[in-house]
Structures are given as C-alpha cells and as structure tokens.
A and B are shown apart, each in its own frame.
Chain A
Amino acid sequence: MLLITCPYCEETLPEAEFAYAGQAHVIRPENPSGQSDEQWEEFLFIRENPKGPHFERWRHLHGCGRFFNAVRDTVSDKFLTTYRAGAPRPDLASLGGDAK
C-alpha cells in the first residue's frame, strides 16, 4: 500500500485517503487581463510530464481536506517528500531525487 504523509495532520496514511490534484507551483498571473492567448494557454493547459521527480498537488480528501504539495517520482511512484501549500519547492538534490 502506498503511504502518503499529510503535512497538516502530520500522519502517514494510505493513498486511498488522498486525491491527486494536478501539477504544483502553477502560478496564476498577477494581471489576468494583460495575458495573451498564448500565455493563457500556457497557464491553463501546458503541464510538465517528467520521467522522474514531479512536483504535484495532492489533497487529503478523506481527512483534513487540505491541499498540499508533494514530490513524487513518476518512475517508482515513490513520494520523495510532502510539504505545505505555499512553502517553497524543496531542493531535489537534498531529497535524493534526480532531476531529468
């Protein structure tokens, strides 16, 4: 069973209690009206698809209900770390991950 640590509940719990919620750190433009079509396309649709560590949002759906961020290796499905929403991207080297 895949276990995920909720950084709010500070508990390591089964994946079935969580929901995936897309790529993390997608920054909403400060001035939405000033965005070109291409910039909107980039913001709304264009996502990374790495083979290796991926920064992604998860939600502790059957628990506290909060969104948080995680680094998951898409090859091994291993969670390298989880951290609270709003916290900076952790350094991959320190996680033993290998950015590709």
Chain B
Amino acid sequence: MSDAVTALRGRSFTGMVTVEDAGPVGMVTVRADLADETVRAALAAAGSDLPEAGGLTWSDDGGTLWMSPDEALILCAADEAAQKASALARALDGSHALVADVSQARIVIRLTGRDALVREVLAKLSPADLRASAFPVGRVRRTRLGQVAAAFWFPAEGEAMLICFRSVADYAFALLSNAAAPGSDVGHF
C-alpha cells in the first residue's frame, strides 16, 4: 500500500509559535440527534462517549468533538478510521443516523508555544472569544479562520489543534504562519 500523506506533507513553521502538520488523522463523522439517549448509548457501547454540547473528549489516541446538535467528529489513528466507521455504523443500525469515514476530507494542524501566543495567533484570524476563561481546555469551537471554515480546541495549555478542509490546507497553513510571524505578537492575552 502507498504511504499516507497529508495535503501539507509534514510542513512546519516556527515563529512566535510553532505551526505544524499534525500528520494523517482518522476522522469519522456521525450525524444523528446527539441528545437522543439511544444514540448516546449506542456510541458509548462502540467506544465513543459523546461530549456535552460544545465540548470534546480527548486522549492521546483520539477523541470525539461536538460539532453541532446533530454532528460529532470522531478522531482516531489514520489506519483505524475505516474500521471505526463500520463499527459505529453497526452500533447505530436502526437509528436515524449517518456515519462516514471523512479522513481524506480534512487536515489537522497543531499549534504549540506559549499559551497566550497560541491564543493570540488564532484570535488574529477568527472571531471566536479566545480568552482562556471563555475557551478553556475541553471545549471545541467551530468557527472561521480568515476566509475558511475551521474548528479548533486546546488539548492542553500551550497547544491547539485545528481542523479545516484539505482543499484549503495551503491557505490555512500560510495564514497561521503569517499570524505567527516573529515579532508580530501584540500582547493581547
């Protein structure tokens, strides 16, 4: 089998924070009424506990992001996505739900550095409220980054993960790198 690569092919940039390709990530989308107890129980039994609205569950091998009242995005190892998708589809059989492996549709970018600066880079590009009090670790925010749709969260202090469509990977990477240019900090946070 050919080697999996992302649209960014491992690029990274270091300015006031480091912006880097997070590599291939498995992504499985689930569309269903996330408030429905049957749906929640079926997903939990398949190993994906659903977070509360606006939240995420996160561990080193993946997580589940709340994307909207009827959409969750499950992250896992790239080579496990197909299997994960079929397991979830089986678990939701009979429910009004849709499960799809969308790993190739999006890319993941990681930002690391001083927490205040990581937040500042995102705040330059997004209308989201990025104060640590308004957007703590454990929350996910679906919003926009410049001209494109993006979602991001903080797995830990000083680290942000961002997903956007693969087709705009270059744009998002250039945008973030520019916002992280050395000496461009404004000391907002």
Q: Quick check: is B47 within 8 A (CB to CB) of the other chain?
A: no
The smallest C-beta distance from A62 to any residue of chain B, in angstroms, reads 4
The answer to whether B68 touches A64 (Cβ under 8 A) is yes
The answer to whether B127 touches A17 (Cβ under 8 A) is yes
Among B53, B67, B127: residue with most chain A CB under 10 A: B127
Chain A 19-61 interface 0/1 with B at a Cβ cutoff of 8 Å (1 = within): 0000000000000000000000000000000000000000001
Give the A-B pair count, Cβ closer than 8 A: 36
The answer to whether A63 touches B143 (Cβ under 8 A) is yes
The answer to whether A9 touches B127 (Cβ under 8 A) is no
Contact for B68 among A1, A9, A13, A17, CB less than 8 A: A9
Give the B interface residue count (CB, 8 A): 13
Q: Which residues of A contact B10 (CB under 8 A)?
A: none
Q: Quick check: is B182 within 8 A (CB to CB) of the other chain?
A: no
Give the A interface residue count (CB, 8 A): 16
The answer to whether A64 touches B144 (Cβ under 8 A) is no
Q: Which residues of A contact B127 (CB under 8 A)?
A: 1, 13-17
Tell me the bound Cα distance from A64 to B53 in angstroms: 12
The answer to whether B69 touches A17 (Cβ under 8 A) is no
Tell me the nearest residue of chain B to A15, going by C-beta.
B127
Q: Which residues of B contact A10 (CB under 8 A)?
A: 53
The answer to whether B144 touches A8 (Cβ under 8 A) is no
The smallest C-beta distance from A14 to any residue of chain B, in angstroms, reads 4
Q: Quick check: is A91 within 8 A (CB to CB) of the other chain?
A: no
Tell me the bound Cα distance from A65 to B149 in angstroms: 11
Q: Which residues of B contact A16 (CB under 8 A)?
A: 127, 144
Contact for A62 among B54, B69, B144, CB less than 8 A: B144
CB within 8 Å for A8 and B68 given contacts A14-B127, A17-B127, A62-B149: yes
Q: Which residues of A contact B53 (CB under 8 A)?
A: 9-10
Tell me the bound Cα distance from A13 to B53 in angstroms: 15
Tell me the nearest residue of chain B to A63, going by C-beta.
B142
The answer to whether B69 touches A8 (Cβ under 8 A) is yes
The smallest C-beta distance from A4 to any residue of chain B, in angstroms, reads 11
Tell me the nearest residue of chain A to B70, going by C-beta.
A64
Chain A residues close to B by CB (< 8 Å) = 1, 8-11, 13-17, 61-66
Contact sample, A vs B, 28 pairs, CB 8 Å cutoff = A8-B68, A8-B69, A9-B53, A9-B54, A9-B68, A9-B69, A10-B53, A11-B54, A13-B127, A13-B143, A14-B127, A14-B128, A14-B143, A16-B127, A16-B144, A17-B144, A61-B149, A62-B142, A62-B143, A62-B149, A63-B143, A64-B67, A64-B68, A64-B70, A64-B71, A64-B142, A65-B68, A66-B68
